[in-house]
Each structure stands twice: as C-alpha cells, then as structure tokens.
Amino acid sequence: MKKVEKPAMVNNESLDISSVSGLFGFLDDNRPLPLIHLGDLFIKSPSSLVFAVISASCDLQFVPESVWRSRGVKKNEARIKLRDESVLLIPGTTREIDASPTSQIVTGLIRIKNGWYSIDWHRERVFSLPHSALRSILEDRGYEHSTRLQLDRAIELQQKCFAQLGRVGLAIQPPMQKEYQIRTFKWHEEAWVEFGKTSQIEAVAFHSSKKNVAVVKYDSLTRLRNSLQEDSNLASSLASLASIFVRLHKTPLVLPDKNKPGQLNLLIDREKKKVPKIGATLEEPNVKKKGIELMLMFVEKAGAINDE
C-alpha cells in the first residue's frame, strides 16, 4: 500500500507578525522612533489635514534604545517599544473661527503658522500607522510634530472616538430603491374612477427599516397637477392645496401599508403630516374614505428590485 504523507503542519511560532507592516508597504527605515504622547498633533498648513494621536498614553511610553544601551540595561529589563506597533490617529480639518463646524467633535483653538483655527475631527476615519512609519509618512511630507492638545481635550477626543469604534452595531437592512407609477382616482357617482395619464406620473420610493417613503419625480408634478386641472370639479375642491405642489418635489410621501388605504401623509422633520382630501393606496380603491376626494395609487414598475 502506498504511504500517504500528511501535510506539513504550520508552525505558528515561526510566523513573523512584523511582516504585516511590510505587506502594506510600511517599510522601516530604522530611524529613531519619535517620542509621542496622547493629543500630539501633526500639522502642515491651514489648508492641509491635521492628525492627532489618540493611542493610550501608557502604550506610547518607552525608553529609547540609545539610552538603555548606554546605561547597560538588559533588553528584557528595558522598557522598549516595538517598532511596528500601531499608533492610532484621527484626521481633522481646519476651519475659520467664525465658520460653522462640520463635525460633532471639536477641540478648542489651534495656532497654525500665524493664525488661529478650529479643528473639526472626523472619528469615522480613524486609522493607524506603525510607529516606525510616522517619520516617513508624515514628517517627511512636511508635517511638523510640535503641538499638543491640552490633556482634558485630548482625553475627551480619545473617549469620543473609542465610543464610536467600540459600539455594538447590529446589521440592518439597507434602504432599497424602487420605481413607482402613480395612478389617480376620483370619487364619482358612488365609485372610484381613474383619470389622468398614469404612465407619465412617476415616483422613486425608498424602503428602509423605519419608513417607506416616495419622492415624486419633478416632471411628474406638472403632469399630476395638469391631471387635476382637467377635472373642473376636482380642481375647485382641491384649490386650497395648490401650495402643496410647490414642496412635493422635495418632501417625501409616506407609502401606505399593504391592504390599508388611507389618508396621504408627508414626512416633514421626521414627523408624518396628514394631507387633507388626498388618500394613498397600493391597490385599486373600492371603498369611500371619509373626507377623501382624490386617491393616489402607487404601482411598482416592472423590473424593480424586490426587497422582500
């Protein structure tokens, strides 16, 4: 019988974790590691990004190799620093003092060149660099390491960043987009009667876990308004709603639940506002709703993405 050789076992102890830095192009030029602390800033110019160190202070402290060697301290007894250990950085953008902030995290005023600026920090873009790459990535590109945030400001910045990174974020269904046609019905002689050019009135609907809303396409607003004006009785009864068409192109309509036609709602400041005399449905209406003169029926266009 032919002997089957077992595959060689991987020796995890032989794996060099320092190869991770080289894998992504962070080459160590063997220059002395810069001494950095929590809140240290790397600044180039008012028009460039600013970077702040947000690693824990205790993780950044070390004794330079030249010092412990000159004093005869053994390597295993010295407080050394791994050259490829990660340093967490957060980018920030400068703004004039009287300008509105673009971030929820700000930290006092910083002097850059000959002016004073506020910094808006962007915690959604936190990243890390190997300690040994700080000089080649930042300092060699003109960034100066000469300013530090006040300790309380630095700790506040660090805590807000870590609160964002450490939160528990469960997966949610992304919003789905669908194309809809809008069919218009009026109540006439004890029945709902369709009118207008259905195929030309369209909307884009956005389905999410919280709200299902639709935005009427801009060109379709004119067609919808023209459809109403073609019926003199309907136009006169809805004359008081003329102003609604001005804002429909930027105000979402709340789609009705399946099999539950009802009054049309607008979504204004995250609150539903009822629209008088106009109803909404996903199926052909067959029952008169009190106070509703016009019914909008949302029909999903063929080929639309199904989010079920």
Look at residue 306 in the predicted model and tell me its pLDDT: 43
Look at residue 151 in the predicted model and tell me its pLDDT: 93
Q: Tell me the one-letter amino acid at 273.
A: K
Q: Distance between CA atoms of 57 and 163, rounded to whole angstroms?
A: 17
Look at residue 9 in the predicted model and tell me its pLDDT: 43
Look at residue 70 in the predicted model and tell me its pLDDT: 85
Q: Distance between CA atoms of 39 and 157, rounded to whole angstroms?
A: 8
Q: How far is CA 251 from CA 203, 209, 213, 219, in A?
A: 12, 19, 10, 15
Q: Distance between CA atoms of 105 and 54, rounded to whole angstroms?
A: 13
Query: Could you identify the residue written with the tokens 């539950």?
Result: 260
Q: Distance between CA atoms of 54 and 90, rounded to whole angstroms?
A: 7
Q: pLDDT under 70 in the chain at which residues?
A: 1-23, 172-175, 197-199, 208-210, 232-233, 237-247, 249, 303-308
Q: Distance between CA atoms of 227 and 233, rounded to whole angstroms?
A: 12
Q: Distance between CA atoms of 300 and 204, rounded to whole angstroms?
A: 10
| Number of other residues whose CB lies within 10 A of the CB of residue 297 | 22
Look at residue 11 in the predicted model and tell me its pLDDT: 43
| Number of other residues whose CB lies within 10 A of the CB of residue 166 | 7
| Number of other residues whose CB lies within 10 A of the CB of residue 185 | 20
